[in-house]
Amino acid sequence: MHRLLTHLRHVDLAVPDYDKQLAFYSGIWGLTKVAEDTGVSFLAAEGSPEQYVVRLRATEEKRLDLVSYGAAHPADVDTLAEELLSGGVELISRPGRVATPGGGYGFRFFDVDGRTIEVSADVAVRRHRKIEEKEAIPVKLSHVVLNSPDVNRTRQWYETHLGFRLSDTLSSPDMGEVLHFMRISDQHHSMGIARGPHTSLHHVSFEMRGIDEYMRGSGRVARAGFRKIWGPGRHLAGDNTFTYFLDPHGNTVEYTTELELLDEDTWHPHVYDFSRPEVTDQWGTANPMNELVAKESFNDPDPGVFVAPPV
């Protein structure tokens, strides 16, 4: 399968407590509100050329609205749509004009678990800037991890239909495979597929400028009273730092930095035993990964499965 996706664009969340969420993401978390319509807001990362990295929508039921990926050209969008159709994938929309900030040309479809995925090209680039030293705000969206009841089925679907490749797997003698790290570039992962009891969002991760900015940001969020689930620490798979928090509605969000860039021609996936403490945290500074920590990221069952978001 040749690869038509280039990068992760944005993650769109629907939330009952819209005002509280908007205040969190545009304030404490450090994103910039760039546009707002009735009950829908678009939030950018100052260091990213993407028009926005998070969309919030007011709704009665919390859900993941969609995950959006970029393609290089409109022709690639058309090619992907044709390939998905011939592969029996259910399209929500056909390729056409995208009506969100920055415009573009794209379409939406359901993945194997019923999540809405969007792919677009020709989106206008946002004026962005270099994040300065000690400036503890997200540079860009790093990756998204999704909960799936069958991680291998989901992994296979993304490999077959969207050209993702496996970078590494977390496993344990008791539980078997629990997390696949998937890539569409030399970035170790732009998506993770985690084993969970139901289809839901596991976490959304944001790249910080460096270790100092990552620590300052983690401290700011903790001091503001938001619940820290796990961290600060440094994973073995991907070699990136991590601190995980709960947003006001119980979605897990992560600050990270220094995610590994790998040589795709020579890379062979590892299977890491996550029951070994140095696998989950090389530094040994994070609280231990236990069942309680794991359960926090299961999130609520998503009512948006095979239901396209209204916008």
Question: What is the rounded distance in angstroms from the CA atom of residue 302 to the CA atom of residue 200?
Answer: 5
Widest pairwise Cα distance in the chain? 51
149 preceded by cis ω (within 30°)? no
**What is the structure's pLDDT at 294?**
85
Under 8 Å between Cβ of 242 and 140: no
Q: What is the structure's pLDDT at 290?
A: 82
**What gap in Å lies between CA 10 and CA 49, rounded to an integer?**
12
Calpha distance 189→208 (Å, rounded): 16
Q: How far apart are CA 168 and CA 260, in angstroms?
A: 12
DSSP per-residue codes, 185-212: SSBS-SEEEEE-SSSEEEEEEEE-SSHH
pLDDT of residue 1: 58
Strands 176-183 and 191-195: antiparallel
b/e for 51-81, b at 16 or more Cβ within 10 A?
A: bbbbbbbbbeebbbbbbbbbbeeeebbbebb
CA distance 181 to 303: 25
Contacts of residue 276, defined as CB under 8 A and 6 or more positions apart, other chains included, come to: none
Q: Model confidence over 116-170: pLDDT tens digits? A: 999 999 999 999 999 999 999 999 999 999 999 999 999 999 999 999 999 999 9
d(CA 161, CA 112): 10
- Alpha helix (H) residue ranges in 43-96: 74-86
pLDDT digits (tens, 9 = 90+) for 19-53: 999 999 999 999 999 999 999 999 999 999 999 99
Q: Using CB atoms within 10 A of its CB, is residue 38 exposed (0-12), middle (13-18) or buried (19+)?
A: exposed
Q: What domains lie within the chain, and their CATH numbers?
A: 5-121 (3.10.180.10), 140-296 (3.10.180.10)
Residue-level pLDDT at 20: 97
Which residue stretches of the chain have pLDDT < 50?
none
Q: Is the pTM of this model over 0.85?
A: yes
